[in-house]
Structure 1
Amino acid sequence: MTENLLLAGPALRRLRKREGLTQATMAATLGISPSYLNLIERNQRPLSARVLMQVIERFDFDPRSLREDEAIGGVDGMARRLADERFADLGIDRDEVSELLAVAPQAAAALARLYDRSGQDAGGVNDSLVASRREIERWRNHFADLDHAAEQLADELRLSHGDLGAALTERLRERHQLTVRILPLDVMPDALRRLDLHARQLQLSEMLDRSSRNFQIASQLVSLEQREAISKLVAGAQLDDNAARQLFERHLTAYFAAALLMPYGRFLRACEQTGYDFTVLQRRFGVSFEQLAHRLTTLQRVGQRGLPFFMARLDRAGQFSKRFSGASGATLLESEATCPLWVAHKAFERRGEFCVQPVMVEGADSGPAHWLTIARTVEAIGAGEDATFVIVLGVEARFGGQLTLAKGISLDQAAAQPIGLGCARCYREGCRQRSLPPRGAPLRVDRVARGVTPFEFSPQR
């Protein structure tokens, strides 16, 4: 049988130095030659499963520390950080990222930590958002233990009642002595959900539709019954900032609630059977498009993987209020600006419609460039002025043929719409939508003629 292999030289070298051993002494302890250990430490030979077991047994070693790169999201996680516009002139490609993680994983972790804590120079609340999001990305937005627990609970609920909303309400009443009460807008003008322990009520706004109501009840149930499991994940994240911990906890609570409404196995089978037909999936599981989009980014169970979607929510100004890369490796979500040629902006003019657009992303050197993207508007729930956002789902174009919405759409690269990572990072010439020249690009000013584009520049980086 072929042994499972991995490159883990730097971690093994740190272990040896921590123990105060020479290469010869450690090699003798492990039953290998000093020259072979030297090659392992320099990542010129992989660490076999047999040697790994010797390391674990002889040094009481935690094998998880052999994969430090997982703490920063692996190659995808580091590549997303290095796609930041501040590093655009360095031209760091994916091969260099892989080499950095293989040769100097601790140095890579230090760089990732500095980047994460910088909050992209925004500070304050944004620091907390960035830290929480990076932790979600480290897990690739898949929390296997929560998914399995949610699946078991969903099966229990199905046995108790055919209607999930009724089953959730009944469980709250029987297990926690809480009744669900719907209150009018004038009583709850600024809240969608409120737990009143004095009255033993979970109070919900009348503005919630059925899918949102079920989600809020599920979230409250998760907070009561899965507190320990979620607290362990939050503690394991070792987030320095209290707000970041709270945001991460809120994400995990919402994750479990979504997994309860869309249990992994049944949901993935439905996705594959329907060709990821979003309309059918919404109806079958009684969820909103935004809830569905969130769930599609989480389907990374070993042996049962779904398509690697990314998901983002944008406002009319093109600002991200949510972005989850999942296992997609998407770098186009890392920019603080969006391209006006992206279908996400056109979707605001076509409320409620699915707007499909294959795109080629300029400057996506550290990840896939050819994507199939799908955008649709969603309305915020609550009082006051209507708030409209666009939810965008994306999957690599090579997977796009599996989607019902891709029927009749060419997935050839030549047919894709070129887009950039915001004008300041886009070097495409001749774009009439350009509002800024690329950073570092020398401007050309023609005194004799005026071109059709706002800026002309030299294309070299």
Structure 2
Amino acid sequence: MGERKIFAGPRLKRTRQKLNITQAQMARDLGISPSYLNLVESNQRPLTAQVLLKLAETYDLDLRELSGDREERLASELKEVLSDPVFRTPIPSSGEILEVASSSPKVSTALLHLYKTYQREIGHNDPLNESLSERNRRLPDEKNRFPIEEVRDYFHARHNFIEELDQHAENLYDTLNQTDNLFTSLRNHLSEKHGIRISVLPIHAMPDTQRRYDHHNKRLFLSELLPLPSRIFQIGVLIAQQEQKDVMSRLTKEAGFNTEDAQQLCQIGLANYFAGALMMPYSAFIESARSLRYDISILSGRFGTSIEQVAHRLTTLQRKNNRGVPFFLLRLDNAGNISKRFSADGFHFAKFGGTCPKWRVHDAFATPGQIIVQPVQMPDGTSYLTLSRTVETVSGPHPETPRKLAISLGCEIGYADQVVYGDGLQLDTSSILTPIGVTCRMCERHNCTSRAFPPMTQPLKIDANLKKLSAFEFR
């Protein structure tokens, strides 16, 4: 399979302007001709891998800034929004949308924000069910943005990596009185440094609560229903709240959230991040991940964590000069509701809908605990290696049934040789790739037998005398 061509003219030009150098200077630094650089900046030539690497080496740049992942994700979201009938105009081509996202990312982001603001004001989450213009309501103010989406965007913009908290967690781990049981080490740390005691209470004392901290009596109460990795995680959350309060407050303030709810949710998210980093300190974890070729089962056993905790941690390994494979993570329930979306790369999650039915994350519920490996290809030609499986959840007493959840962890196919789950797959043949889309509403693949909805980007093709395998035909 050929490498994806990267046309990054506007991004390269903006980078050069930020560096305050001329085309001639940059061309000389990169060892290319000014005329070739001019063609690249005008998107008449793609960026080669050699030039990309030279750019990163010469100017200490993050390659993701030039690879187009962010702009492609932005273009995907724009296309999804522009398919709403409220716009009452033909949908621009994918090339036009990508050009706008690349050349005017701030304008594109503003348009997305405006659309989401209208969407929330009319009180529904699926923009494809009805036209926004069918409701006559006033435009809400900035403070009405949905706080959960604000916080998700905050972490996504940082590739799910918070350097300062990660480093502080690793430093704390190195100072602990190490034992084979991290629970004991953290319990002793809380007691010796903060005078906080930990008690594990029976179900009748905490019938519907996993963790409760009594500030006045300095007691942390944990439910007996929590497995050991979850107990350790909750202790880590409290340590973050005790010792990283100033850092988390500053980071939240710098984010510029619009509501107090978003600020509080971000504080919780940052505390959770610290807890995960404390359980799996960066240097030790990435060294193990590389040596084990990202085997999530062995990593779970080595660090005493759950499979989901390991998968989440793998999406955060983006420390400068020591990056891991850039993974994305999706978590959903058996009804298809998405509850987690994290990405260290440019994977295009649907903002306003579910997932593709051909993505085998849904099949994981039929084979609990087993890993399903599936190479997939998006409509833009980008290919990914994905692995899906169910994950354990905290269950209540009988007759309550535990929540059924599955995760899918993935990376671009180019990293497959670094990942154990790519072994034995003939990834050089396109037939092994399952074609999937972001959502049915945005996918223009013809003759898909799994299609649940027609694409909003194309007119329907209706023929009363013809019935094909696909539920919908379109032009």
Give the TM bin, normalised by the shorter chain.
0.7 to 0.9
Partner-residue secondary structure (3-state), 2:104: helix
Cα distance in 1 for partners of 2:261, 2:17 equals 34
- Counterpart in the other structure of 2:383: 370
Give 1:112 deviation, angstroms: 5.3
Question: 1:332-363 deviations in whole A, cap 9, x for unaligned?
Answer: 3445121111111111101011111011123x
What do residues 177-231 of structure 1 show as CA deviations (whole Å, max 9, x unaligned)? Answer: 1111111112111110011234432110011111111111111111111101111
Who is 2:223 aligned against?
Answer: 205
User: Is the CA contact 1:234–1:245 (under 8 Å) kept in the aligned structure 2?
Assistant: yes
Structure-1 separation of matches of 2:289 and 2:19: 42
Matched, 1:136 2:149: no
More moved, 91-100 vs 346-355: 91-100
Q: Which residue of 1 aligns with 2:434?
A: 417
Among 224, 239, 249, the alignment partner of 1:231 is 249
Once the two structures are superposed, the pairs formed by residues 306-345 of structure 1 within 5 Å of their partners are 306-326=324-344, 328-334=345-351, 336-345=353-362
Q: Name the amino acid aligned to 2:346.
A: G
Deviations 1:48-69 (A, max 9, x none): xxxxxxxxxxxxxxxxxxxxx9
Question: Aligned residues, how many?
Answer: 389
Residue in 2 that maps onto 1:260: 278
Q: Match of 1:97, as an amino acid?
A: A
Question: Could you tell which deviates more after superposition, 244-253 or 89-98?
Answer: 89-98
Structure 2 SS opposite 1:90 = coil
Deviation at 1:422, TM superposition (A): 2.0
Distance change in 2, residues 1:225/1:133 (3 Å): same
Q: Conserved in 1, the CA contact under 8 Å of 2:70 and 2:346?
A: no
Out of 460, 468, 471, the position equivalent to 1:443 is: 460
Alpha carbons of structure 1 residues 85 and 338: separation in structure 2 relative to 1, 3 Å: farther
Q: 1:441–1:457: 8 Å Cα contact kept in structure 2? A: yes
Aligned to 1:358: 375
CA distance, structure 2, for counterparts of residue 119 and residue 230 of structure 1: 30
Q: In 2, are the aligned partners of 1:190 and 1:382 still within 8 Å (CA)?
A: no
| Residue in 2 that maps onto 1:114 | 114
Match of 2:415 in 1: 399
Distance in 2, matches of 1:113 and 1:332, equals 17
* Change in 2 beyond 3 A, CA 1:358/1:191: same
Long gaps (5+) in structure 2 = 1-11, 21-40, 43-64, 85-90, 126-142
Q: 2: CA distance between counterparts of 1:448 and 1:81?
A: 36
| Cross-structure match for 1:7 | 14
The one-character-per-residue Cα deviations of 1:84-104 (angstroms, maximum 9, x if unpaired) are 343593234445422224xxx
* Contact residue 442 and residue 457 of structure 2 kept, 8 A: no
Maintained 8 Å contact 1:343/1:375: yes
- Give percent identity, aligned residues only: 35
Distance in 2 of aligned mates of 1:226 and 1:275: 32
Cα 1:83–1:172 change in 2 (3 A) is farther
1:429 deviates by 1.8
Q: 1:76 to 1:422 in 2, by over 3 A?
A: closer
1:86-165 to structure 2, matched below 5 A, reads 86=82, 89-93=91-95, 94-101=98-105, 105=106, 107-108=107-108, 110-111=110-111, 113-114=113-114, 117=117, 122=124, 127-157=146-176, 159-165=177-183
Give RMSD over aligned pairs.
Answer: 2.8
2:212 maps to a residue whose letter is R
User: For residue 92 of structure 2, what is the amino acid of its counterpart?
Assistant: L
CA contact under 8 A between 1:264 and 1:299: conserved in structure 2? yes
Superposed CA deviations along residues 254-310 of structure 1, whole A, max 9, x for unmatched, are 101111011111111101101011111001111111111111111111100001101
What secondary structure does 1:7 align onto?
helix
Secondary structure in 1 aligned to 2:331? strand
